[in-house]
Amino acid sequence: MMPGFGMQPQIILLKEGTDTSQGTPQLLSNINACMAVADAVRTTLGPRGMDKLIHNSQGKVTISNDGATIMKLLEIVHPAAKSLVDVSLSQDAEVGDGTTSVVILSGELLKEAKPFIEEGAHPRNIIKAYRMASTLAVSKIKELSISLGGTVEEKKDLLKKCAMTTLNSKLVSGEKEFFAQMVVDAVSKLDPVTLDLKLIGIKKVQGGGLRDSFLVDGVAFKKTFSYAGFEQQPKSFDHPKVLLLNMELEIKSERENAEIRLEDPAQYQSIVDAEWNIIYEKLAKCVESGAQIVLSRLAIGDLATQYFADRNIFCAGRVEVNDLERVAKATGARVQTTVNGLSAESAKSFLGTCARFEERQVGAERYNLLTGCPNARTATIVLRGGSEQFIDEADRSLHDAIMIVRRALKHSEVVAGGGAIEMEVSKALREHSLTHTSKAQLFIKAFAKALEVIPRQLCNNAGFDATDVLSKLRQKHGQTDGTGRNFGVDVNTGGVVDTYNAFVWEPSLVKLNAIASATEAACLILSVDETVRNPKSENPDGQGMPAGGRGRGRGMGRGRGMRR
């Protein structure tokens, strides 16, 4: 039947059961979801922030106040809120710190935009104003950042202050000075050009207190699986030669389907001897090279272990790849994949050395330590602590501090922390908004207000009156002579303090990346006006056909067959 005059034919575009939500209600729903995510991590911000205990279905317990860790473990399913997880992880990968700040800032930007959306403002206008405000905020931070100069020793002292600011908000804040020094010493060992993070090893050993943690100027790795004969090997050397291998040193059994045909039974012994001769030849070449320590990524069997013990050589098989790489960097040794060519004459080209090798008892574990390495491009931090959860959180805290010191070395510019930089940027944006006569004035002011969430949350988490402290901060930052621009929240007294003079410093890169990422996340969510959820197909082999489509076809075919 032809459609009537003025009627449009009905077009079915999406498969049956598809859920679509669109328009302003959907946008507000997405904003509410993101605000809920921000509220989940809000209380972890700052030196007085609380920790979250996350218990998963496997029974593993994680206690953390690291934003990226919490976001990863929360298993958020809301499609729009997942963008906040991504922005937190990108901040962690790019800078290493400020993961909580970026989530809170994204949530606050959306919260400030919500009333405008409800009143009918077009999201595109808000997005445009937010992006403009973000660009201005970034340029203001660059203008306010202070470069770290001076001698190497002075720079180390400044880097230590940056590390202490990062550790302030962590579980290990009680020993922040001890760990900040350790982190700066570890990062200083790295190649100044690459600053490869993989060359700093962090080993966790349960037992003891935090103060029992120590830094190894070289490489430390846990004693590997060992065979009989291991205890007869020497466990300490001075200036040993180190040989690194990526091969097995044990007798390899033939494949099950291997077949050897013999005409003379006497030949059988020669075949058995050949297997032994191959392994003995490999071991002899290792000894001939002059090495006193043999480390391999693959297994070193019981025969090889005893062989080396008889010749006063230390060996360890199944060494982790990262540990082997660090040993190579530290000692100057080159990993060998074959024993051919391992002679005393060419030893200099592939053997490494260190000042001291020893096997030491650390808690309940035994560790192999190589120290005083000539290349000194690597370091290992051995962490001690009471419980497994505590050591894991200490590991995450040190990772943040290492990333911050590493970034500060590459981009040696810092800004005042404690919410000072946010207040100063907020003031600048408020002043700039007055130059606009359009609705953008309101949106830029909203962005400026959103930035104040950082000092406000620092006050709330410390149990202070946020309204009172923010009023004092606005008064300080409002001074025309610019003397109050470095004032931030004093979490010790509940007042305000010049955070730059109090050495509460943060690399400007943290703030630049946080504001840019938070703005992008907020703009992304504001630009979504429809969510389409496709139904799960009931028939997994239907390949895109409506559920039950194939079933009906097969059923009809069978029916006809039966009738015939």
Active site residues: 66, 99-100, 400
With helix as H, strand as E and coil as C, how does 475-510 read?
HHHCCCCCCCCCEEEECCCCEEEECCCCCCEEEHHH
Residues in contact with 17: Cβ distance below 8 Å, sequence separation at least 6, in sequence order: 535, 547
For the record, the structure tokens of 151 come out as: 């001698």
For the record, the structure tokens of 213 come out as: 């943690």
With helix as H, strand as E and coil as C, how does 10-31 read?
CCCCCCCCCEEEECHHHHHHHH
Query: Which residue, among 51, 80, 62, has the nearest Cα to 72 in the 3D structure?
Result: 62
Chain centroid to Cα 520, Å, comes to 21
Please name the residue ranges forming H helices in 169-266.
176-188
What is the phi-psi region of residue 146: left when phi exceeds 0, alpha when psi lies from -120 to 50, beta otherwise?
Answer: beta
Query: Which residue, among 335, 333, 299, 301, has the nearest Cα to 317 in the 3D structure?
Result: 299
For 207-286, strand residue ranges (E) read 214-216, 218-222, 236-238, 241-245
What separation in angstroms does the CA of 214 have from each of 217, 354, 376, 382? 10, 19, 17, 5
CA angle 159, 160, 162 (to 5 degrees): 65
Query: Which residue, among 135, 148, 180, 92, has the nearest Cα to 508 in the 3D structure?
Result: 148
**Alpha-carbon span 285 to 275, nearest angstrom:** 16
**Alpha-carbon span 344 to 454, nearest angstrom:** 63
Strand 314-316 to 352-353 pairing: unpaired
Contact between 378 and 330 under an 8 Å Cβ cutoff? The reply is: yes
> H-helix or E-strand containing 62?
strand 61-64
17-20 contacts, C-beta under 8 A, 24 or more apart: 17/535, 17/547, 18/532, 18/533, 18/534, 18/535, 19/532, 19/533, 19/535, 20/530, 20/531, 20/532, 20/533
Query: Which residue, among 64, 166, 54, 165, has the nearest Cα to 394 in the 3D structure?
Result: 64
Query: Which residue, among 413, 425, 330, has the nearest Cα to 368 in the 3D structure?
Result: 330
For the record, the structure tokens of 523 come out as: 């703009």
**Alpha-carbon span 257 to 11, nearest angstrom:** 64
Q: Classify burial at 98, counting beta carbons within 10 Å of its beta carbon; exposed 0-12, middle 13-18, buried 19 or more.
A: buried
